[in-house]
Amino acid sequence: MRMIFGLVLVVGMMLAGAAVFMAKNFIGQQQSAVTREKQLMADTGGLTMVFVVNKAKNYGDPLTKDDVQRIYWPKNALPEGAFQDGDLLFPQDAKDPRYVVRQMEKFEPILAVKVTAPGEQAGLNGAIEKGMRAFAIKVDAADFLQPGDRVDIYWTGSSGASGSEVTQRIETAVKIIAVDRNAKETVAAGEIQSRTMTVAATPEQVGRLAQAQATGRLVMSLVGNDSAAASDPTEIKVTTTDINGDKIAAPEAVAAAPEACFVTVRQGGVATQVPIACTN
């Protein structure tokens, strides 16, 4: 009897120890999970729901409820103007949709600056600052240029009486406000092609660009985000000679024809010119 009692006591103590060990592990796991959650909250500031587009949207596309969905987004990385309330994004009294004014990629948050007010058509007025003008120019440019980018504009044409071609920068850090995408699907990414781009320019710049467009070819070069590069005043002018060192041959001198002198002699009513030596 005593042996049975002792055996039961030993088994009970083993079970109790196992239970304590398992409970300790479980509590430790829960504490680790709580710690990780607290660290995540500290890193992200918590999560909130935000509206994003569920497909790529281009300039001028209408925005409907089928184009959006809600996802979790870190609070401390929430962009300004992001829509979190469906009634604000799609007001119940709105009869017409919003339109996209800036290109958005899939799962990109919908910002107030990237869409119009309900029923308002997408246009360029909102992209033009006071005193500026919208001017469309045809240029040779790659398809990676997007509205909002700043570019330098280079002109290539004939220079002066020599007729030699010259390339020079005529405008610096001009802002693109619209891009022609009609042929984008037919070309490879990054390929240079003739495109129509609309830029924001002062009236004086519009005059220069119009004259340059009428007298030569225009090319755009993307300007980086560096403010120093955007305000670079250096004059850039390149000729064929600068590229390959060729010099335009001077026209050969044409030898002057020798001076000829004549005297007119009349014989029987017939006038005849007889050459004579020229004198000073």
How many structural domains is the chain composed of?
A: 2
Greater confidence (57 vs 246) lies with 57
Mean pLDDT, the chain, whole residue set: 80
Q: Are 53 and 68 in contact (CB under 8 A)?
A: yes
| Contact assessment for residue 232 and residue 150, using Cβ atoms and an 8 Å cutoff | no
Domain of residue 76, residue span: 48-114
Measured at the CA of 146, the angle between CA 226 and CA 234, to 5 degrees, comes to 35
User: How many Cβ atoms are within 10 Å of 103's Cβ, its own excluded?
Assistant: 17
Section 260-280 average pLDDT: 73
Tell the residue number behind the tokens 């009349």, with chain if given.
Answer: 266
How far apart are alpha carbons 239 and 245 in whole angstroms? 9
* CA diameter of the chain: 179
98 and 202 share a domain?
Answer: no
pLDDT at 249 over 60: no
104 with 138, same domain: the answer is: no
100-157 pLDDT tens trace: 988 899 999 999 999 999 988 777 766 678 889 999 988 766 667 888 889 999 999 8
Residue 240 domain flag: yes
Q: Quote the pLDDT of residue 183.
A: 47
Query: Looking at the predicted structure, is the pLDDT value of residue 69 above 90?
Result: yes
Q: Are 53 and 108 in contact (CB under 8 A)?
A: yes
Residue-wise pLDDT tens digits, 18-53:
888 888 888 888 888 878 877 777 776 788 999 999
Residue 177 lies in a domain: yes
Task: Tell me: do 150 and 194 sit in the same domain.
Answer: yes
Let me know if residue 119 belongs to a domain. Answer: no
Residue carrying structure tokens 């596309």: 61
CB count, 10 Å around CB of 230?
A: 13
Residues 160, 209 within the same domain: yes
Handedness of CA 26, 32, 35, 37 (dihedral sign): negative
The answer on 82 and 135 residing in a single domain is no
Q: Is the domain of 80 the same as that of 146? A: no
Give the Cα separation of 63 and 48 in Å (integer): 22
Nearest to 217 by CA among 180, 161, 165: 165
User: Which of 86, 114, 142 corresponds to the end of one domain?
Assistant: 114
Mean pLDDT (whole number) for 247-254 = 57
Q: Write down the pLDDT at residue 163.
A: 67
Domain assignment present for residue 237? The answer is yes
Q: Are residues 134 and 230 in the same domain?
A: yes
Q: Are residues 153 and 107 in the same domain?
A: no
Same domain, 233 and 142: yes
Flag whether pLDDT at 11 surpasses 50: yes
Q: Yes or no: say if 156 and 167 are a contact pair by the CB < 8 Å rule.
A: yes
User: Both tokens of residue 51?
Assistant: 């509206």
